[in-house]
Structure formats: C-alpha cells, structure tokens
Structure 1
C-alpha cells in the first residue's frame, strides 16, 4: 500500500493555516506529523518572529522543531539584499525587531528612518506598522532605495478569521510610490531555494493552505504539493484555480499523509453540462472533489457544482464544511492527472 508521504524524503510545511491558526494548533496536525520518517522543514512567509521564536512556538503546540528547521521570509529577504548591497549598507526596516536582526546577521545596518539615507527598504509583517512607518518607507523608496518585501500575502488566518497581512501594507506603499518590490517569500523562488538548501533535498513535498503562495511556490520550483483545506484557500478556490496554483494532491487535513493515495475513483463521475458541473456516484468526499476539479479545470468559467443523488449531496456538504476537522474516509487523492507545470 502506497502512502502519500512515501515518495518524499522531506516535507516543506507552511505554518499559518496549515499547522496553527493564531495561537492554537489546528486539531490533529501535531499528531499527524509525529514520528514521520521524513525530515520536516517549516517554511513561513511571516517575518514578524525570529526562527528561534517560531521553533519555540511550534514546540509549545506539540510539534517537533528546532531553529535550524525553520526557514522564514525574513531570512530570504535579508539574503536578497545582501546579494545586492555592500556590507554595512543602511537598510530601512518596516517590521519587527526580528526582521531587523536578520538584516544585521547578513552584514547590513538596520535603520528606522529615511533621514539615515538608507539604500534599501525591507518590509515584513508587524501588527505595529502604521502611517509613520509607511511614510518613512515611502520617502526612502521615492529617493531611490531598493524595496524588498518579505511576502505579499494580503491576509493571514487568525483564530477570529482572516486579518490584513503584509501584502495589504505592501499595496499601500505600491500605491504611494508607483514602484514594485522584490518579493522574497512564497510563491517566489528565493524562499523556496532557501528551504531546499536547508533540507538538502530535491525530493520534497510542499504542504500548505494557500494556493497563491504555498502551491504556486511549489510549482515555481518543480515540486509536488499538498493543499490542506484548513486555512485560507477554499474548495471554490481549488475548483477555479489557475494552472500555476493547482496542487498535486488535496486533502481536508494533514492525516492524509499516512493515507493511501487514490489516483482515481471510478465510483464518481463529474461532467460539464455546458453551464454547471454535475457530480454523481459514491465514495469518499476527497475523491469526489478531485473528480470535480479535473472537469472544472478543463472548463473554466463554469457556474456551480450540482450534486446528483444523495451520496453526491453528502460529499458537497462535506466540502462546504471543510474548514472543520474531517475524520471519516481520509484519503489523499491526486487533484487531477492534468499536467500542472
């Protein structure tokens, strides 16, 4: 019996929305990763905390992590700048002290005002970022400073729902400067390269809850991916995904890593009737979803998914409840046989 994890020696794991939401672990996530033989590398777009603090938080939530297993967008952003600037160059930091520390670690000089004539601006998520901070960055960028953003996630998941992410603040500066930043985090290559170097592997599976960052990042470097429906991306997002954001696998939860891979399910049938996708048959809800996804991707602009029969109706109801923990019939299914790279 082939399990989803068997083809990989390393798992590149997203954090927010995949392992935890806000301060709390997603139910069952730590147990799903416990005792796996694969190396676990934690890859986060959140630049607000140091890798050590991230590792401590993961340990507190029941995951096994150390500082060396954490790859953060703050580190990727600092590396991007270090490759472009002379040692000791002033970099205006819009973000936390943890981001400033990463800038210092690569031999650059973090500053907090445009009056210090920074040659670059680095921007990462901080709940304390406000107009005065953005104004300093705006002045520096307009004066010619290189602009690097740790990531462009417009939202981030919290225990109360989606809140503004670093990308929302990036959008404000983009509007104020008419400039585009270099983005170091997912889905862009710098952080993915850092993660692969840290892992020492090219046989890795990327796991995350966002198709626009985690899945697109995997596709950007030619890696397989698993979308878990525990965070930002929804079933509707999956069905309407652009080719560059389509995952290799999809599941409701991380316990699918230890489940058999079902490449097809002959009991489900999905057809496009010219307007909607009609789903019929029986079986587990994930196989139903992947059958529908294959047809949806071939027919962009479809209306809705129509369930034909009681089993299909139950499957669609499970999809609609997919942000809750699903414990029945956990089968990891290939999202489609369609080429996605």
Structure 2
C-alpha cells in the first residue's frame, strides 16, 4: 500500500471532458498519471456522459492523445442508455434518436430501430449530445413525446468544458424540449445516476474505487450516490466558488489542482482540512464570519475554507487578512 492518495484504491474511474482532455486536446499530465497508476497495479476505467462517441472510438481517441485505454475500459452514457432501452423495449422497436451517429449506432447494435421522424411512430425518444443537433430534429422529438413516446436522456450536463470556456451541453438541449413540452424526461441515464460507476467497479472486481471528476453536479454527486470516494480536479467545470457552496450530496472526499494530486499524500488533498491551518494558510472563525490569512497553495486555502462554509459561514462573510488572501479570494469571484 503506497502512502500517496491513489495507493489507497484499487480502481480509478476517470471522467473525460475536463479531467483527461478538453474537447480534443489532452490535459497536461493526464497520460503520465494513467501510466503511473497502471505501473502501480491500479485498474483504470473511463466513465463519460458524452454520448457523441462510442466506447471503442473514445479508446482510439485517448490512445491517439497518448493516454492508454482499452475499449472495455470505457463506459459511455450512449452505451448505457442503449442497453437500458433494449431491456425495456421489444426487439426491433422504433426509437427516435436525437444526437450523434454514435448514439444511433448504439441503439442499432442493441437490436432496436433508429428513426428520425415522429411520423415513424417511435415508442421512445433518446436524446444525447451531438454538435449538429438542431431545431428540426428537436421538433420531431417534441411531436413524438407528445404522441406518447417515452423520453430518455443520456445525461443532463448543462455545459461541456473547452479551452475557450464552457459550451452548451446535452442538458441545454434537453432544456429546449423541457420548455416546449413543459415536463421532465422520463429517464435520465448518465451521471449523477450511479450506474456508470457501479458498472465500472463490477467489471474491474474493485473493492475500493475512486472517482476522479471535474463536475460537482455529475461526477461527485454520482460518486456520493454510489457510496464511493471521489477526487475533484480543478481543470474543468467546477471551480473553488462552486465547491465552497456545495451541498452535502456534492462534496468530494479530496480536491486537487490537477491529476498530480493522485500521487501526493491523501491528507494533503482531503477536504475539508481541519485544525485551522494548512500549508501557509490560517483560517479563524468568529461566529458566522471567517478570516483567511497567509499565503501558499490555493488548494490548501480552499480546503480550509470549505471547513467553515460547509459549516454555515456564508462565502460573503469570508474576510481577507493578508494581501495573498485578498488576491486569492478575488480570483475565485471571477
């Protein structure tokens, strides 16, 4: 058993967008982190809500970036949704597909019939992210759901991370139909539902899985729901301000700036930090107010401050007691 964080776990389940890559570019250090885990004997899995690629295509993409991956290690919301559809619908049933070709292929391989019009009388609508999704197919989906088709969503991520900032995700497209239909999807399959994580652990035969993600509302909430420890990395969507205000169901076990945190002592990443001091930072509390002093690694300050905000101190009641603290708190508001 190693003394670093990852050494306490036998499986690392990585989210992809915002953790391993941004759109089509690897995040620095991701390939090295995966290879070090493999060398240590830690099993690897990738669990993504992005339904625009199939598992084998994701593995090819990762290997092309220098991040080792086997198709069997990749679980996508598209594949999980197609499997659920096959469980609930008779063979050959018509399914109107809103999304990328990868989702249509998954539906087809599950023994169902993908269609593109409400006039085909589909018994279900499945909606996943696709960069070419537009008004025409959304209109067909709305008509099909109104006619009685069951509405499945692969996930409801509002945004996708990118080097240019957050972009609309499948949740934003689901919101179009939600507005038009004045109702919620019948079934949401991907994170924060725990299925992708529990399936990954079962496939690996893991007793101590660790979820590594960048989103509190999907990765971390899904890990909490699955009863798994989790590491939030600050390379994607959720940032310090969101973490300070996280409700209990979205609170990670650890936080780190990036995947290098996997190979540091677990105590240096555990959240919240206790004792009032961490690194060069000190937090003092006076009733419903708190004061941050010192300087050092921003993650240490974040771990300390979560200890007071998660215990009832409003973010607006945190004061800076040093120039370093003032600069840090200001940067978190941007």
Map 1:1-341; keep pairs closer than 5 Å: 2-36=3-37, 37-181=41-185, 182-262=187-267, 264=273, 266=275, 267-268=277-278, 269-274=282-287, 276-281=289-294, 284-299=297-312, 301-310=314-323, 312-313=325-326, 316=329, 320=332
SS in 1 for 2:46: strand
Per-residue CA shift, 1:40-76, capped at 9, x if unaligned? 1011000001111111111111111011111000011
Contact 2:11 2:201 in 1 (8 A): no
Contact 2:212 2:219 in 1 (8 A): yes
Per-residue CA shift, 1:245-288, capped at 9, x if unaligned? 00000000101111112254653432344554311356643232
SS in 1 for 2:95: strand
Where do 5+ consecutive residues of structure 2 fail to align? none
TM-score, normalising length: structure 1: 0.88
SS in 2 for 1:303: helix
Per-residue CA shift, 1:67-111, capped at 9, x if unaligned? 111100001111221221111111110011110111122221111
CA distance in 2, matches of 1:64, 1:199: 16
1:199 CA drift (Å): 2.5
Where do 5+ consecutive residues of structure 1 fail to align? 323-341
Task: Report the aligned-residue RMSD.
Answer: 2.1
Of 153-162 and 205-214, more deviation after overlay is shown by 153-162
SS in 2 for 1:93: strand
Contact 1:80 1:190 in 2 (8 A): no
SS in 1 for 2:45: strand
Of 133-142 and 26-35, more deviation after overlay is shown by 26-35
CA distance in 1, matches of 2:315, 2:263: 33
CA distance in 2, matches of 1:57, 1:310: 44
TM-score, normalising length: structure 2: 0.90
1:191 CA drift (Å): 2.5
Contact 1:275 1:303 in 2 (8 A): no
